[in-house]
Amino acid sequence: MVSVLSNISNIIIPVIIFYIVAYGIANRCNVYEDFIKGAKDGFHTVIQIMPTLIGLMVAVGVLRASGFLEFLGGLFGGVTERIGVSSELAPLILIKMFSSSAATGLVLDIFKNHGPDSLIGLTTSIMMSCTETIFYTMSVYFLAAKVTKTGYTLKGALLSTFVGIIASIILAGLMV
- Using an 8 Å Cβ cutoff, are 146 and 109 in contact? no
The sign one gets for the Cα dihedral 144, 148, 153, 154 is positive
Rounded CA separation 113/163 (Å) = 26
Rounded CA separation 90/72 (Å) = 7
Percent of the chain predicted with pLDDT > 90: 21
Structure pTM?
0.65
The sign one gets for the Cα dihedral 8, 11, 16, 18 is negative
Binning pLDDT at 50, 70 and 90, where does residue 164 land? very high
Total length of the chain: 176
| Statement: residue 17 has pLDDT above 80 | yes
- Using an 8 Å Cβ cutoff, are 176 and 124 in contact? no
Q: Where are the alpha helices (DSSP H) in the chain?
A: 2-26, 31-66, 68-82, 89-96, 100-114, 119-130, 134-144, 153-175
Rounded CA separation 31/157 (Å) = 36
pLDDT of residue 1: 60
End-to-end CA distance of the chain: 26
pLDDT tens-digit readout, 109-143: 899 999 999 999 999 999 998 888 888 788 777 87
Domain borders along the chain are 44-175
Rounded CA separation 120/85 (Å) = 8
